[in-house]
Structure 1
Amino acid sequence: MPRTSARSQGMFPCEAEVARRLSQTPIEWAAKAKILERDGLPKVDPLMGGRPWPAVQAYFLRRYGLSTVEVMAPDGVENLDVL
């Protein structure tokens, strides 16, 4: 069984893993992601360094009429100093 990296698992997978999960090559996915982001695909979270996978799944379910749940984008950079 091939060994998988931590970046290919979890809630914020790397772009190569997102491409794999969506049956795309990394090059195909990079081009398509730019277009899909204009339609609401969650962007790469700058703090976590990846797209939130549950939100990506929810985006595609909504896109194909399989869910009515709206995915919300983060509302800005978090200020952890106020805690």
Structure 2
Amino acid sequence: MARRPPYRDQGLFPSEAEIARRLSQDPTDWMAKAIVLERDGLPRIDPLMGARYWPAVLGYWSRRYGLSHVEVSCLDGQENLDVL
């Protein structure tokens, strides 16, 4: 994999080596781990941008460790605005 200019690692689509660094992983180990984690929902490399979307990567880890959750809303009955 060709080395990207350093400024490219500061944006929303950092290189795999930069993602490994941010996650305190060895870049070689990260490549193997990423394959396994993609099966669990880690965002895949965007084909157009050539990298993973960093906010989505953070979201994946937050969900994995229970730091974010989305409650599914369900209808609880017909609205009655005359009550007000």
Relative to the length of structure 2, the TM-score reads 0.75
Displacement, 1:7?
2.1
Aligned positions of 1:1-83 closer than 5 A: 5-69=6-70
1:33 aligned partner, one-letter code: A
Displacement, 1:19?
0.2
Relative to the length of structure 1, the TM-score reads 0.76
2:47 aligned partner, one-letter code: P
Segments of 4+ moved more than 4 angstroms: none
Displacement, 1:9?
1.0
Tell me, which stretches of 5 or more residues in structure 1 are unaligned? 70-83
In the alignment of these two chains, the number of paired residues is 66
Secondary structure of the corresponding residue to residue 66 of structure 1: coil
1:37 aligned partner, one-letter code: E
Q: Percent identity?
A: 67
State the distance in 2 between where 1:62 and 1:18 align.
18
Q: Deviations over 1:19-49 (max 9, x none)?
A: 0000001011001000000000000001001
